[in-house]
Amino acid sequence: MAYKPEPAGLELRLVAAQRLKSVLDGDNFIPLRATDLADGRDRALANRLITTALRRHGQLNFIIHALLKKGMPGKSGTFEAILRLSLTQLIFLPDLGAHSALFLAVEATKRDPRARHLSSLINAVLRNAQANSAKFGMLSDDLLIPETFGDTWLQAYGEEAIDAFSDALLAGAALDLTLKSDDSKLIDTLGANRVMADTVRIEQRDRSVEALPGFTEGSWWVQDAASSIPARLLGLEPGDCVLDLCAAPGGKTAQLVKAGYAVTALDADAKRMGRLQENLARLHYSAKTIVGDAGNFAPNMLYKGVLLDAPCSATGTFRRHPEIIWHRSVGDVAGRVRLQRSLLTNAFRCLDRGGVLIYCVCSLEPAEGEEQVDWALPSLPGLKLWPVTSDEMTGLESAVTGNGLVRTHPGMMPGGHPGGMDGFFVARFRRSEIG
């Protein structure tokens, strides 16, 4: 019997479905790499399908509810992932063609032993979707943000900001870099724009990060504009000893080294700490590194500065990880609030009198930001708020609140540049000389 090749595009669909299924099951999305799909064009298309499906997750929920009257079949393997990818192509990426969406969906379903009995169902559902594609394509952007966070965000940021959140979710994130030195020629070669301080932004790129100019030489590191803010606010003298808690993968550590501080970086995850060390080595930077628990770390000296980038819900990163806002629950946030208070308490213990403590989270939740300041000030005697001023936030003055905290969100445009930024909260404290 002659060999019959697999239909064109089927491997792409199968690999994409497996990756999307893992995200639906609770994993964070990791873009497909060459080891997953060798062909670069197929890989780019598969990643486009997955990321669009994740960004449109709320709208797809509505569509699937309308089309599957009996709900999602149980124990059906990759059926849901294949369905979501195919609906994404039919409704939100029509340039990819309707015929291939239907044909490859059926073929991919047949290849999964746990889903093959549903091949007729997926064909019928997708044909129904195709007939109603114009209606489904006009769904409200209100569906993009889950109710879990929508009401809280509306109250905290206002309706105009929430509309900007939806736009930012669909647009995704540009690539921000922190430069080791102000090199105009390198910025031009990168095709980047200055954003704020030593942060530049590449809005469109056709190469991997590793292939960009200056990577091998260690001329920059990847760091969102919002994430670059906390380390700049420490305000200490070169040579001062600084502790970076929960430091991996090391973007803020690199900033602290660049500023001339004597840096100790600590993280509980040995693998992530290894990545931090690799990143510093590429940059030709050095810092003392410790694998340890930030909640009970007991140093033999006190530090002039402590930076705590605390574990959090990470809801502020939804431009790059849209699955985050669907994975997180109110209970998840409450658990992280408790952890953050434990870490803040120990960060305070590590801080010398007169020293500076920076607390930050990549979260949009007031419970993990502003409300933690309300807790810390009466709970940690001798800790006082050191307000951030708008002069320290040139290009992003609107992020400074009335009481000197920093609150960024995805609708903000650092330096007036489009592309948004991560949601971040930053508070700066001093420990009194006496307490």
The 10s digit of each residue's pLDDT in 78-132 is: 999 999 999 999 999 999 998 899 999 999 999 999 999 999 999 999 999 999 9
Report which of 272, 271, 229 is spatially closest to residue 250, judged by C-alpha positions: 272
Domain count, the chain: 3
List the structure tokens of 92.
């939100």
Please tell me the predicted confidence (pLDDT) of residue 435: 56
**Nearest-angstrom CA–CA distance, 370 and 367:** 7
Residue 291's H or E segment, with its range, is: strand 288-291
In this structure, the answer to whether residues 50 and 123 fall within a common structural domain is yes
On whether residue 4 sits in a domain, the answer given is no
210 and 248 in a single domain? The answer is no
- The CATH number linked to 279 is 3.40.50.150
380 found inside a domain: yes
Model pLDDT, residue 3: 53
Q: Are residues 131 and 163 in the same domain?
A: no
Residues 234 and 347 in one domain: yes
* 54: in domain: yes
Q: Is residue 266 part of a domain?
A: yes
For 243, residues 6+ apart whose C-beta sits below 8 A from its C-beta are 263, 264, 266, 299, 303, 305, 306, 307, 347, 350
The CA distance from 249 to 35, in Å, is 23
Backbone φ, ψ for residue 304 (5° rounding): -70, -30
Task: Answer yes or no: do 240 and 291 share one domain.
Answer: yes
In terms of domains, do 274 and 385 share one? Answer: yes
Report CA 48 to chain centroid distance, whole Å.
17
Q: What pLDDT does residue 2 have?
A: 52
pLDDT at 418: 78
| Residue 300 three-state SS | coil
The span from the CA of 327 to the CA of 329, in Å, is: 7
281 to 189, 212, 286: CA distances (angstroms): 23, 18, 7
Give every residue of the chain whose pLDDT is below 50, as ranges: 1
Q: Are residues 62 and 168 in the same domain?
A: no
Domain final residue pick, 115, 139, 163: 139
- Domain boundary residue among 178, 195, 220? 220
User: What are the CA-CA distances from residue 36 to residues 40, 81, 342 (Å)?
Assistant: 10, 17, 40
Query: What CATH number has the domain bearing residue 36?
Result: 1.10.940.10
DSSP 8-state code for residue 387:
P
> Which of these, 232, 248, 192, lies nearest to 396 by C-alpha position?
232
Last residue of a domain, one of 220, 238, 253: 220
Specify the pTM: 0.94
Q: Are residues 305 and 418 in the same domain?
A: yes
Gyration radius of the chain over CA positions: 24
The verdict on 403 and 256 lying in the same domain is: yes
Q: Is residue 145 a part of any domain in this protein?
A: no
Residues 17 and 163 in one domain: no
Domain hosting residue 67, numbered range? 10-139
Task: Please check whether residues 393 and 320 belong to one and the same domain.
Answer: yes
Q: Are residues 374 and 233 located together in one domain of the fold? A: yes
Contact 11, 39 (CB under 8 A): no
